[in-house]
Structure 1
Amino acid sequence: MPLHITKEIHEQQTELFIQQFGDRMLILVTQMGKVGTLIQATVPPTTPFAPQAPSDDASNAALPEPPVSIVLTPLMGTSPSPDHKTLLDIYASQIATLAWSSNPSYRSPVVVGLAMKKQSISLEDGEIVIQERNREVFFEVMKMVNEGLKQLRSQ
């Protein structure tokens, strides 16, 4: 059964859709009312994931670290710049990791669709610098995804 949640994050209506299929999971996060860029995340079946500690905290410490073995494959859509591609990859990696961590025996691919309002990022000395507001949006989106995954498991 698909799940749909709407929440306002920093004055932007943000929608989350989660649909479990037999061979993969689809997670869409949109602030623009469309599917956006689709990225498939996969990991080898032997990749270990510890069960996610219960937390309502949206801090960095509450998020499981994406595995180094994660493979991101763009399926549809493009980002407007290489910097934004990196940002989309960060979102997709973390969302997929939340899906896998929410059920430690689940290793199927996760397809992530992202259509986020443009965020301000910059490069300083070759490093991506993300404004604090963007960081807050990221953690709020991850909290929303966590809530959605919990609701999906309880259905």
Structure 2
Amino acid sequence: MQATSQKCLAISGLQTDILIQSYADRVLVVVTQLGKVGNLIQASIPETSPLPPTPNELNASPLPAPPPSIQLSHLFGSASSEHIRTLHSLYASQIATIVWTMEAEQAIDAPPRRRVIVGIALKNSIGSHDGSSRLAEDERAVFHGVMSAIQEMLRRT
């Protein structure tokens, strides 16, 4: 994996900046629409836990499912609501799973799974949820746009 990769793109009409910084023991991924790091969440997984199979053309979803053994630690910042906290946890879990899956595909030997630290700062969608835990359509579009961009960035390395 390349040491640093960054991309600026418009997702659902919002400028979204993505930075991936690789270190020996961790990978930092920052996704921001606000020009700041935002909440920091660390994702880790035990070495003995299997990774999900890599999605292929036959799968309905192009994203690997986060493993049930994933561990999230909220390091810095706080969400404005329980809905946003859940959304940020979803981003961290999915981004970490993509990083681990891509690293496993590209490795000759089985590399140790590095912790993934995700910084997330997204603009709140006005009326984006109705009090339930369902994601609004614009939140889904941003989520899938971010995940697609991260997969593309990691494939290029």
TM-score by structure 1 length? 0.87
**Is contact 1:51–1:103 with CA below 8 Å preserved after alignment?**
no
Once residues 8 and 60 of structure 1 are traced to their aligned partners in structure 2, the CA distance between those partners, rounded to angstroms, is 25
Q: Look up the equivalent residue of 1:21 and give its one-letter code.
A: Y
Q: Structure 1 residue 23 and structure 2 residue 20: aligned?
A: no
Once residues 5 and 140 of structure 1 are traced to their aligned partners in structure 2, the CA distance between those partners, rounded to angstroms, is 12
Superposition map of 1:55-74 within 5 A: 61-74=61-74
Once residues 109 and 150 of structure 1 are traced to their aligned partners in structure 2, the CA distance between those partners, rounded to angstroms, is 19
**Is contact 2:6–2:18 with CA below 8 Å preserved after alignment?**
yes
Structure 1 portions without partners, runs of 5+? none
Once residues 153 and 61 of structure 2 are traced to their aligned partners in structure 1, the CA distance between those partners, rounded to angstroms, is 19
Runs of 4+ in 1 over 4 A off after TM superposition: none
1:140 maps to: 145
The alignment's C-alpha RMSD in Å is 1.8
**Is contact 2:15–2:33 with CA below 8 Å preserved after alignment?**
yes
**Is contact 2:44–2:70 with CA below 8 Å preserved after alignment?**
yes
Q: Look up the equivalent residue of 1:145 and give its one-letter code.
A: I
Q: Structure 1 residue 115 and structure 2 residue 94: aligned?
A: no
Once residues 97 and 28 of structure 2 are traced to their aligned partners in structure 1, the CA distance between those partners, rounded to angstroms, is 13
TM-score by structure 2 length? 0.86
Q: Structure 1 residue 99 and structure 2 residue 99: aligned?
A: yes
**Is contact 1:122–1:130 with CA below 8 Å preserved after alignment?**
no
Partner-residue secondary structure (3-state), 2:46: coil
In structure 2, relative to structure 1, the CA distance for the partners of 1:71 and 1:60 (3 Å cut) is farther
Per-residue CA deviation, residues 32-58 of structure 1 (Å, 9 max, x unaligned), is 111110000000001212563467xxx
Residue 75 (structure 1) shift = 0.7
Partner-residue secondary structure (3-state), 1:121: coil
Residue 148 (structure 1) shift = 1.4
